[in-house]
Each structure stands twice: as C-alpha cells, then as structure tokens.
Structure 1
C-alpha cells in the first residue's frame, strides 16, 4: 500500500473541519476533487475511513488512527524539506505564501523580482486569503508563511506555535471626497457626523477602525459595508462617505479622493508569520529579507522578529 501525501493532508483536514467543503476551502480544491481523493484513499486502505452524520463527516476508528499518523508523516516531510534546504544552502525550495490585496500589489512585485534575480531556485506561490485566515493556514500547514496584520487599537491573540517577523508599520489616513474637509491634518473625531464606507465588524480592519472611532468618542455611521478597499475608494470618490486607507493603498487612490493625514494616526503592523521550529528554513529567511527590503524602499519602517 502506497499512501499519497496529498490524500493524507486531506484526511487530516477532514478530521479538523468535519466537512468536505471545509477541506476544499482550506486546501484550495473543489469539493468534488476532495471527495474523489478521499474515496481513493479508502480504496487504497481497503476499509472505511469516515462516515456521514447529516452534513458533517466523522472519522471511523481506523480513519482516526490514520489521521494521527498523517500528522506525524506530514511533519516528517516538512523536517526532511528543511534538512535538504540546509544541505543545499537553502537555494532550492517552493514556498506557499498567504497574501491579501495591498501587500500583493504594494510589496510582492518588487520583492519577488529581487528574489528571482538573486535566488532563482526559490519558487514562491501565493494564495489570496482574508487577513483573518492567513495565520491559521500557516499553523495547520496549508501555507509555509503568510502576511498578518495588527492594529494599534486592536491587538490580536497570538498562537505560540507561530513566529512573526515584522515587515513594516503603516499609518492609516482618512480618504474623503475631494474638497470635503478642512486643511489637514484633522482628528478622526472630525468625521463623527460623516457617513462611512467600511468593512464589516468581523474583519480585522473593520473592527480596528470601529474601536479607533469609539476611542475618539463616536460610533461610525456605516452607510456602505464593503470588504474590498478599491470598492470603498470608488464609493468615496462618488461622494458616498469616508473611509481609512493605509500607506500601501495610496498608489491606487482614484481621482476624486483626498487623502488626509490624521492628528493621531491609527497604525498597523505588517508581519510575516511562519511556524515555530528549532531552525528557520533558509529559503523562508530569504523571502522575508526580500519583502522587508521592498517595504524599506516604500519608506515604511521595518522591524525585527517578535517571539
């Protein structure tokens, strides 16, 4: 019997998430592809590995045993990859990186161009995810590293199984319809009576801005709840409200929008998260260095590793 690492990874995710759709979303396959691969795993083993309970799936006793060993096997594969990198000087590797829009457009092009020129053996594949989902994808092994954010008004809990390397610290600025505000800088409280265009309260960004507004004595009157910053800026250009934008978004601000600095700016830290290991993979360090250099070229303050 020869077990597929891909199918073992799917089985591990099925134990964690309990649904085929959950596995598909996490590993970026279609649900039908996941079902087919899990069925093939059962055929290879020659026994039932899971059973359906309504919409959820529960592993059988044998499935749970295999899933436990899958965890060890996949961990051993990661250790082997690290050992090979060390033996080769860390110049050959494929890394899966979680990103979101502003870092993908604002930091990665320059960073990956530099990385390709200096270390052509390192291949970086990116997956765009909501910022709220990137850290957990690294923790469960779906990604090798990911960008994460933390706001000055909203500190996030941190899993001890992850390490974060600070890349940059951004300021958030008010984005308003052209000509709609007095001379900058202005207090965030100056927008207490304005309509807002803002992400929902379950997102890091939406929650952080709501907290910042409350610290300045008001609850933002959200007229348009949108998740994409480009959509929010288009609405601001059309006179539909105000929002906040970070330094990395400034290059994509459309005509009809004024960017106004705040007297007490909201800050956000952009970091790269990766799993805690006794020795960090050299290829991962090289990716972090390239992104940090890209951030420095943008005039953003670079930090150092945070335990």
Structure 2
C-alpha cells in the first residue's frame, strides 16, 4: 500500500474534525471530492477504514491505526520542509498568520514594515479569524502562527503543543459619547446605569468585559452587540451607549466619542502562538521579533 499524502491528509482531517462536511469546508473542497478520495484510500488499504453511522462516517480500528500513522508521516514531511527552509541561505519563505481586525489595523502593519526592512526574503499571508478560532488553526497546521489574547478578567485556556510569546499588554478604556461624562477618568461602576455596546458573550472579548463588570458589582445592560471594536465605537459615537475598547481597538478613533481612562482597568495581553515543534524556525522567530518591535513603536506596554 502506497497511499498519497493528499489522501492521508484527508484521513487525518476526518479524524480531527469528525465529518466529511467539516473536512470539505476546512480544506475548501466539495463533499463529493473528499468522499471519493477517502473511498479510494479505503480501496488502497484493502480493509474497511470507515463505517457509516447515521449520516456520518466513523473510523474503524484499522482507520484509527492508519490515521495515527498519517499524523506521523505528515509531521515528518512538514519537519523536512522546515529543515530545508533553515538550510537555505537567504531563501524565500512564506508564513501564514491568523489575525483579527484590531491587530490587522495597527500592530500587523507596524510589524510587517519592520520584517520587510530586516528580512525581505520572508513574506506573510494573513487570514482573518475570530480570536477564539485561531489556536485551533495553528495546532492543526492551517496557520503557522496566530495572534492570541488573554484578558486579566478572563485568561484563555492553554492549548497543548502550542507556545505563546507575549508581545504587548493593552489597557482597556471607557468609550462614551462626547460630553456625556464630565470627568478625567471613570470606573466601571460609574457606567453601570448606561446602555452598553459590547460583543456577544460567546466571544472572548464579550465574556471578559461581562466578567469585569460583574466583578465591579453589576451586569451591563447590553442594548447592542457588536463583534468588532470599530463597530462598537461607531455606535457609541451615534449616542447609542457606552463601551470599553483596547489600545489597538481605538485605531482609528471616530469623532463623537470621548476616551476616558478606567480606574483599575482590566488589561489584555497580545501574544503570538505557534506550535512547540516550530520553536527553532528562524523565519517565525524573525516575525515575532518584528511584531514586538512594532508594538514598542506603537507605544504599547511591553509584556513581562
């Protein structure tokens, strides 16, 4: 049996994602194309690899055994590619990074400018994902690295096999309609009676803000849910409520809002996550160093 790497990758993805539909969506294939390739792999194996349960496929004992070998083979192929990457002198390398809106607006451009200056042989592709989805994409190899967040009120769970390098610490600020509060600074309880504009509680940011408010003694009255900080700021500028925003989320700041320091403000740490096995990849380390320098240029507080 000499299965192709392509079909082994599909088997690995099926084991990880659970359904043919999920594999097709993740890899941008049609469901029928994935099904045909898996059926061909089963014929090559000469033994049942799958059994149908309801409308889905479940790996048999032989399927699980081959999937385990697929993980080992695919990892070895990837390691060989990284070894050749390291052996090349001045060779071009492309990294794929996971980002979200506030990072892509300010921190990423600053970091890529520095990376292009110091390492023009390294190019970077980006994919915009929700912060909650980025670590999974790094772990399965869809991304080389990703920006991730930890809030002081709600740390993100650590993911096995991933390394996080802290880049900067952001403060959270109160954002209110212009002239609505006559003070140089406020505390979260000062905003308890106002309508709020924050992200959905399923999002990491939305959950962290709600936890911080509850720790301050109140549940915010959420009138508008907005996933992006830029959208929340626009709604505040229209007089529809108050919100909190991070340093990066304030770029750019629309007219019609006042930015007020928060007393005992929650913070969030911006880190870059990558697989532990990739720690020695020089292009990846160059990217991390460039983004850290970019964060310093933006005046963000260095991470401890």
Question: Does structure 2 retain, via aligned residues, the 8 Å contact 1:89–1:282?
Answer: no
d(CA) in 2 for partners of 1:104, 1:4: 37
Question: Does structure 2 retain, via aligned residues, the 8 Å contact 1:165–1:303?
Answer: no
Give the structure 2 partner of residue 103 of structure 1. Answer: 103
Question: Does structure 2 retain, via aligned residues, the 8 Å contact 1:184–1:262?
Answer: no
d(CA) in 2 for partners of 1:223, 1:182: 23
Cα 1:279–1:89, aligned 2, differ >3 Å: closer, same or farther?
farther
In structure 1, the residue corresponding to 2:251 is in which secondary structure? helix
Question: Does structure 1 retain, via aligned residues, the 8 Å contact 2:195–2:221?
Answer: yes
Q: Normalised by the size of structure 1, how large is the TM-score?
A: 0.89
| 1:210-248 deviation digits (Å, cap 9, x = unpaired) | 111111111111111221222222211221111111111
Cα 1:122–1:278, aligned 2, differ >3 Å: closer, same or farther?
closer
Question: Does structure 2 retain, via aligned residues, the 8 Å contact 1:86–1:281?
Answer: yes
Cα 1:81–1:90, aligned 2, differ >3 Å: closer, same or farther?
farther
| 1:34-93 deviation digits (Å, cap 9, x = unpaired) | 445545645665765434322432123443232111100111022212222332257532
Cα 1:225–1:279, aligned 2, differ >3 Å: closer, same or farther?
closer
| Higher deviation after alignment, 194-203 or 119-128 | 119-128
In structure 2, the residue corresponding to 1:230 is in which secondary structure? helix
1:124 aligns with 2:124: yes
Cα 1:31–1:300, aligned 2, differ >3 Å: closer, same or farther?
farther
Q: State the 1:271 CA deviation.
A: 0.1
Q: Normalised by the size of structure 2, how large is the TM-score?
A: 0.90
Q: State the 1:125 CA deviation.
A: 1.6
Cα 1:59–1:134, aligned 2, differ >3 Å: closer, same or farther?
same
1:88 aligns with 2:88: yes
| Higher deviation after alignment, 26-35 or 166-175 | 26-35
| Higher deviation after alignment, 233-242 or 276-285 | 276-285
* Runs (5+) with no aligned partner, structure 2: none
Give the structure 2 partner of residue 205 of structure 1. Answer: 205
Question: Does structure 2 retain, via aligned residues, the 8 Å contact 1:152–1:266?
Answer: yes
Q: How many residues align?
A: 304
Cα 1:217–1:64, aligned 2, differ >3 Å: closer, same or farther?
same
d(CA) in 1 for partners of 2:28, 2:214: 38
Question: Does structure 2 retain, via aligned residues, the 8 Å contact 1:170–1:248?
Answer: yes
- Aligned alpha-carbon RMSD (Å): 2.3
d(CA) in 2 for partners of 1:27, 1:102: 26
Q: State the 1:106 CA deviation.
A: 1.3
d(CA) in 2 for partners of 1:243, 1:164: 28
Cα 1:123–1:210, aligned 2, differ >3 Å: closer, same or farther?
same
In structure 1, the residue corresponding to 2:302 is in which secondary structure? coil
Give the structure 1 partner of residue 170 of structure 2. Answer: 170
Q: State the 1:29 CA deviation.
A: 4.9
Give the structure 2 partner of residue 240 of structure 1. Answer: 240
* Runs (5+) with no aligned partner, structure 1: none
Give the structure 2 partner of residue 115 of structure 1. Answer: 115
Question: Does structure 1 retain, via aligned residues, the 8 Å contact 2:102–2:251?
Answer: no
In structure 2, the residue corresponding to 1:263 is in which secondary structure? coil
Give the structure 1 partner of residue 293 of structure 2. Answer: 293
Question: Does structure 1 retain, via aligned residues, the 8 Å contact 2:110–2:295?
Answer: no
In structure 1, the residue corresponding to 2:186 is in which secondary structure? coil
d(CA) in 2 for partners of 1:47, 1:92: 43
d(CA) in 2 for partners of 1:65, 1:148: 33
d(CA) in 1 for partners of 2:119, 2:194: 49
Q: State the 1:277 CA deviation.
A: 2.6
Cα 1:73–1:90, aligned 2, differ >3 Å: closer, same or farther?
farther
Question: Does structure 2 retain, via aligned residues, the 8 Å contact 1:170–1:300?
Answer: yes
Give the structure 2 partner of residue 10 of structure 1. Answer: 10
Cα 1:108–1:179, aligned 2, differ >3 Å: closer, same or farther?
same
Cα 1:28–1:232, aligned 2, differ >3 Å: closer, same or farther?
farther
